[in-house]
Structure 1
Amino acid sequence: MHVNLVPFIVLWALLAASVLVLIVWRKMVANNEDDTLHVLQGSVAQQVTVAQKLEVIDKWGKILTVITLVFGLILGAAYVYQNFVQLSNIQGA
């Protein structure tokens, strides 16, 4: 049994690239974050907005990271299994 893994590798690479994009995006949003405490209305609203954006980015970052990791492990296991079956067929022939 030989399955072409290239489409799955491309999908995994796209998932990994999306995680990297989220990392860069989070870094850019975090640069706007002000770690000091402000009590003026305008500053508070901006801090809340940035914090909400960071929460959303973090949520999706965690989800995509787990999906990418699990998919990569499954892809690696499929590659090892495919090579194992191929080698056992050669030796048993």
Structure 2
Amino acid sequence: MEEYYVWVTTRRLQPGALEEFERAWRPEPYPRGLHRSYAYWSQDGQEVTGVSFWESQEACDAWRTSESEAQRRAAMAPYVVEEREGFYRGRQLAVPQR
């Protein structure tokens, strides 16, 4: 069974800041070792959870400590009230067919 390396961040945003936050949130350049990522917004637009899948913990750590990520976080900072993050290992669960 294939294991995945996942970085999850949840940010609470200032009211009305979702559009500006989304522009600042996009990484540049695209991180090495990142396979795919997803973003989920609460209905009121004040909470955003990002889920990214990495080839290894080392690849994720290299991005997290990079100058590009520091610049991205600085660009997002004016819109963020609170931030939580975690790094996880896991695998896909089999869902029974109906």
Larger fraction in helix: 1
TM-score (norm 1): 0.28
Report the TM-score, using the length of structure 2 for normalisation: 0.27
Q: Which has the higher strand share?
A: 2
